[in-house]
């Protein structure tokens, strides 16, 4: 694929620099001249775009992928097509400097940490990835190409590393069979996993072109390399392989030989053995199981004598900190585990601690049961039965945060400011996001207040081109006139776990649920006068509207 030149324009975005080349496309840093923000733009390779029906498939799959929202997943904010360029826009992750190296991905980080990472850091990074997989897999979404270069990281000041999984579900765009052709190859002899452990150089520049495919192959399960289809266990296998590399400083090769330090928490050996087992039935049941079994950092070493390899040998050309089959002495191990003062009874403090813990757990469980039976589920997405409106109301007893997603249009809302249309050249019918809060009233109703940014074209003055008017409208992000606010009043039914939509208030006007008389399919929100027997109209008659029930019900993304 030809790399786009600097200053090339894609919609309102301008290419700043080329960031990375992958199996499916190239990633660029772009500057959006409308919002005046920097983003990462992935442009799919033209060899895929030219295939029959790709555009329709691209749009459908991107709509599915855009539904995934998790703190550890790079959010797909926008996508579209401009001529042959099919693109996806993501949050931009700035590189950070470390030991004279530029770091943006977990692969970069592992390359500047050749002896491996601290156990606590590995547990933290792995935990974030697994939490994202728990949500994604529950939606039926697989990543299908998890590897260190697809895990973005950044280091907030004095905070642990923040993880964002990129390219989630992009294999769906081209199909698993087509994607296999890119990595299931016989690579040249000079192309091997050791190249992944160091930064690119002029000496191996030709071999570097093969590394995206080699890296993908290295993190595929044995059964996938043999031609089997991808399943959930494939993502979990890749996570275990990344954890092994992070702990040891070396990738887990195709022979599956584990190499773990003698001083490592022995729980890691058990976890990695299960996560990388050759038989898929011996691996973790799902992402929740893998997360639950993840070794907790800081625990004492319980066994001083144990094997540290899976019948493997080390490379002779490298000094290794790992055991080579010799037995470790157990002298002093018992005293280290039990403590130096063994004469004093230790059961009493532990008994008190255990009793207090049980009381606390029971109390918390009781409070949760009380909340669960009377309040909404903070982890559930509720979708309207009449429109593409989605709500997620966060935890709280009397108030909490709220998130909204939908496709606001003038046809639905009768508000010209919400007529957000897709661009003819791309970005068509994108879902909009809004945030706010919910509170409860004295009568138990929920009041959800949402604020959403919109874009609208100024009136045509006959001189300013449409494109310039659009750019002018998108400028000025902080202008309150560019935001829509509304309130939805809802009634919650805990037995059915659903909300009834009572009304919406916007710009001082109240809208109520209803449908056109004689057509049950035309549900929506209408102003009060539409419910009158003889509605006042201007122009042709307007169908009478009758009251109807509209609900927000739990949304199953599968």
Whether 536 shows a pLDDT value over 70: the answer reads: no
DSSP conformation class of 76? E
Whether 557 shows a pLDDT value over 70: the answer reads: no
DSSP conformation class of 6? T
User: What is the predicted pLDDT for the residue at 302?
Assistant: 29
Tokens (6 digits) for 258? 């584990």
Q: How far separated are the first and last CA of the chain, in Å rounded?
A: 34
Kind of pairing between the strands at 382-384 and 389-393 = antiparallel
Question: CA 144 to CA 216: how far, in whole Å?
Answer: 9
Q: What is the domain partition of the chain in residue ranges?
A: 1-92, 95-199+207-311, 382-472+479-554
pLDDT in tens, 125-153: 999 999 999 988 988 888 989 999 999 99
Sign of CA pseudo-dihedral 275, 280, 284, 286? positive
Confidence of residue 490 (pLDDT cuts 50, 70, 90): very high
Residue percentage of the chain with pLDDT more than 70: 69
Mark residue 296 as left, alpha or beta (left: phi above 0; alpha: psi -120 to 50; beta: remaining).
Answer: beta
Whether 392 shows a pLDDT value over 60: the answer reads: yes
Question: CA 510 to CA 414: how far, in whole Å?
Answer: 12
pLDDT in tens, 305-340: 222 333 333 333 333 333 333 332 333 333 332 333
User: What is the predicted pLDDT for the residue at 551?
Assistant: 92
423-451 average pLDDT score: 72
> b/e string for 166-186 if b means 16 or more Cβ within 10 A?
bbbbbbbbbeeeebbebbeee
Query: Of the ranges 5-9, 295-299, 381-385, 473-477, which one carries the lowest mean pLDDT score?
Result: 473-477
User: What is the predicted pLDDT for the residue at 326?
Assistant: 33
The torsion angle over the Cα atoms of residues 95, 129, 122 and 287, rounded to 10 degrees, is -170
Global pTM reads 0.54
The helix/strand/coil state of 50 is coil
Residues pairing with 551 in the sheet:
500
pLDDT in tens, 45-100: 888 887 767 888 888 888 888 888 888 888 888 888 887 789 999 989 888 888 78
CB 79 within 8 A of CB 122: no
Question: CA 100 to CA 158: how far, in whole Å?
Answer: 19
Question: CA 333 to CA 527: how far, in whole Å?
Answer: 77
The helix/strand/coil state of 85 is strand
The torsion angle over the Cα atoms of residues 92, 93, 97 and 103, rounded to 10 degrees, is -120
Q: Which of 389, 406, 387, 418 is nearest to 514 (CA)?
A: 387
User: Which helix (H) or strand (E) covers residue 488, if one does?
Assistant: strand 483-493
Range 95-199+207-311: architecture per CATH: Orthogonal Bundle (1.10)
Rg (CA), the chain: 28
CATH fold for the domain made of 1-92: Phosphorylase Kinase; domain 1 (3.30.200)
User: What is the predicted pLDDT for the residue at 495?
Assistant: 82
User: What is the predicted pLDDT for the residue at 40?
Assistant: 93
pLDDT in tens, 221-249: 888 888 888 788 899 999 999 999 999 88
Q: State how far the alpha carbon of 192 is from the alpha carbons of 144, 198, 213, in Å.
A: 22, 12, 11
């Amino acid at each position: 694929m030809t790399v786009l030149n600097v200053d090339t324009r894609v919609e309102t975005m301008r290419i700043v620099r080329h960031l990375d080349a992958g199996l499916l496309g190239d990633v660029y840093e772009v500057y959006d001249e409308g919002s005046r923000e920097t983003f990462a733009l992935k442009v799919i390779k033209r060899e895929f775009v030219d295939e029959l029906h790709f555009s329709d498939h691209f749009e459908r799959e991107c709509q599915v992928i855009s539904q995934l929202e998790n703190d550890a997943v790079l959010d797909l904010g926008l996508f579209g097509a401009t001529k042959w360029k099919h693109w996806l826009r993501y949050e931009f992750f700035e590189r950070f400097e470390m030991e004279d190296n530029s770091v943006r991905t977990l692969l970069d980080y592992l390359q500047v940490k050749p002896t491996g990472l601290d156990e606590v850091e590995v547990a933290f990074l792995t935990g974030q990835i697994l939490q994202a997989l728990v949500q994604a897999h529950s939606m039926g979404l697989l990543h299908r190409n998890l590897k260190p270069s697809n895990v973005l990281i950044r280091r907030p000041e004095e905070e642990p590393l923040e993880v964002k999984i990129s390219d989630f579900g992009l294999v769906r765009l081209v199909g698993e069979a087509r994607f296999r052709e890119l990595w299931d190859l016989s690579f040249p002899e000079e192309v091997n996993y050791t190249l992944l452990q160091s930064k690119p150089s002029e000496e191996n520049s030709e071999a570097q072109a093969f590394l995206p495919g080699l890296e993908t192959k290295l993190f595929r399960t044995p059964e996938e390399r043999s031609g089997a289809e991808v399943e959930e266990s494939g993502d979990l296998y890749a996570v275990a392989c990344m954890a092994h590399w992070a702990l040891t400083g070396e990738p887990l090769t195709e022979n599956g030989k584990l190499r773990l330090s003698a001083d490592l928490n022995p729980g890691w050996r058990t976890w990695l053995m299960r996560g990388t087992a050759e038989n898929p039935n011996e691996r973790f049941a799902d992402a929740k199981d893998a997360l639950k079994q993840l070794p907790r950092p800081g625990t004492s070493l319980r066994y001083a004598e144990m094997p540290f390899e899976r019948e493997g040998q080390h490379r002779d050309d490298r000094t290794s900190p790992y055991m080579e089959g010799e037995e470790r002495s157990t002298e002093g191990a018992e005293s280290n585990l039990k403590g130096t003062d063994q004469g004093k009874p230790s059961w009493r403090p532990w008994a008190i601690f255990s009793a207090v813990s049980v009381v606390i757990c029971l109390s918390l469980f009781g409070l949760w049961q009380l909340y669960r039976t009377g309040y909404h589920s903070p982890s559930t997405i509720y979708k309207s039965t009449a429109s593409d409106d989605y709500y997620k109301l966060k935890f709280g007893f009397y108030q909490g945060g709220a998130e909204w997603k939908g496709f606001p249009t003038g046809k639905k809302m009768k508000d010209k400011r919400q007529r957000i249309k897709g661009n003819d050249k791309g970005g068509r019918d994108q879902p909009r996001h809004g945030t706010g809060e919910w509170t409860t009233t004295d009568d138990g109703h929920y009041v959800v207040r949402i604020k959403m940014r919109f874009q609208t074209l100024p009136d045509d003055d006959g001189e300013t081109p449409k494109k310039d008017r659009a750019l002018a409208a998108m400028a000025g992000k902080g202008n309150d006139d560019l935001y829509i606010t509304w309130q939805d009043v809802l009634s919650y039914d805990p037995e059915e776990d659903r909300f009834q939509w009572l009304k919406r208030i916007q710009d001082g006007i109240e809208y109520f649920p209803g449908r056109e008389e004689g057509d049950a399919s035309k549900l929506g929100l209408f102003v009060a006068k539409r419910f009158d027997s003889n509605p006042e109209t201007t122009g042709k008659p307007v169908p009478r509207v009758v009251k109807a029930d509209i609900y927000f019900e739990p949304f199953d993304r599968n």
